[in-house]
Amino acid sequence: MTSVLVTGANKGIGFEFARQYALDGARVYAGCRDPARAEALNALAAAKENLTVHKLDVTIERDIAALADVLNGASLDILVNNAGIGGDLHIYEPATSETFEDVLRTNTIAPVRMALALRTNLEKGDGKIVNISSGRGSHARHRGDGIAYCASKAALNSAMYGLSVLWKDTKLIIVMLAPGVVITDMNPTGRLTPEFSVGAMRDLISRLTTSDNGRYMSYEGKDILW
Ligand X SMILES: NC(=O)c1ccc[n+]([C@@H]2O[C@H](COP(=O)([O-])OP(=O)(O)OC[C@H]3O[C@@H](n4cnc5c(N)ncnc54)[C@H](OP(=O)(O)O)[C@@H]3O)[C@@H](O)[C@H]2O)c1
Whichever of 3 and 108 has its CB closer to ligand X, that residue is: 108
Whichever of 24 and 61 has its CB closer to ligand X, that residue is: 61
Whichever of 39 and 168 has its CB closer to ligand X, that residue is: 39
| Phi, psi for 95 (deg, rounded to 5) | -65, 155
Q: Are 55 and 83 in contact (CB under 8 A)?
A: no
Rounded distance between C-alpha atoms, residue 214 and residue 154, angstroms? 13
For ligand X, the binding residue among 84, 87, 125, 214 (CB under 6 A) is: 84
Q: How far is the CB of 97 from ligand X (least distance, A)?
A: 18
Order across the sheet with 173-178: list the strands: 51-55, 27-32, 3-6, 78-81, 128-132, 173-178, 216-218
- Binding to ligand X in span 17-56, by CB under 6 A: 33-34, 56
Whichever of 13 and 51 has its CB closer to ligand X, that residue is: 13
For ligand X, the binding residue among 76, 78, 85, 122 (CB under 6 A) is: 85
Q: In the stretch 140-179, what mask flags binding to ligand X with x, by CB under 6 A?
A: --------------------------------------xx
Q: How far is the CB of 27 from ligand X (least distance, A)?
A: 20
Based on the shown chain and the rule CB under 6 A, indicate whether residue 14 belongs to the binding site for ligand X: yes
Q: How far is the CB of 106 from ligand X (least distance, A)?
A: 5
Rounded distance between C-alpha atoms, residue 31 and residue 117, angstroms? 14
- The alpha helices in the chain, defined as continuous H runs, are 12-23, 39-47, 61-71, 97-104, 110-124, 147-166, 194-206
* 150 alpha-carbon distance from chain centroid: 16
For ligand X, the binding residue among 99, 106, 121, 213 (CB under 6 A) is: 106
Q: What residues contact 191, with CB distance under 8 A and at least 6 apart?
A: 180, 181, 182, 183
Q: In the stretch 175-214, what mask flags binding to ligand X with x, by CB under 6 A?
A: ---xx-xx-xxxx--x------------------------
Question: Position 213: which residue type?
Answer: N
To 10 degrees, what angle do helices 194-206 and 12-23 make?
60
Rounded distance between C-alpha atoms, residue 34 and residue 24, angstroms? 25
Q: How far is the CB of 107 from ligand X (least distance, A)?
A: 6
Which residues contact ligand X (rule: CB under 6 A)?
7-8, 10-14, 33-34, 56-59, 82-85, 106, 132, 134, 178-179, 181-182, 184-187, 190
